[in-house]
Amino acid sequence: MDKSSHESKDIFGVSKKNIERFFVEVEKSSPKYHQSVAKLQQDYIDAWKTVINSAISLEQEYAIKAGYKTEVPDSVLRTIRDITDISLQAYAQQNKICTDTTEATKQAFKTFNQNTKSFATLNKEIMGYIMSVFEQKLNT
């Protein structure tokens, strides 16, 4: 027998059932999505690391073959270390901003969900009041 003949034809029941099906599928795919994005980010990091290390190796080989002096003054070494330290600090700040923003967004969603439930309750109470007024008019 046809499955649809056993299902409710009430629009709200059908809508709720289908919305639930939709979000179950979204929730099932979410871990795969996160894993895919994390893998893509790691591949991006690995690619840049390879590019930079390859460039350094190529320049080093060229300098050696050309007979260039590769020793530099301590001030240059300090500058390289300082640039690296500043870059690491900037990266740490960026991560902190991302983490703080994520936490603020999570709190905003939590508040939004709480407010939505409160508004739904309020609307239900208003609807009850309006319906009671209509019922009184019908009974008089």
The residue extents of the domains of the chain are 8-71, 73-140
pTM summary value: 0.63
Determine the distance from the C-alpha atom of residue 27 to the mean position of all C-alpha atoms in its chain, rounded to a whole number: 14
Distance CA 121, CA 34 (A): 35
> Where does the pLDDT of residue 1 fall: very low under 50, low under 70, confident under 90, or very high at 90 and above?
very low
How many Å apart are CA 7 and CA 21, to the nearest integer? 15
Q: Which of 36, 34, 55 is nearest to 44 (CA)?
A: 36
Tokens 């350094």 locate to 56
Q: What is the pLDDT of residues 62-112, one digit of tens each?
A: 999 999 999 999 999 999 999 999 999 999 999 999 999 999 999 999 999
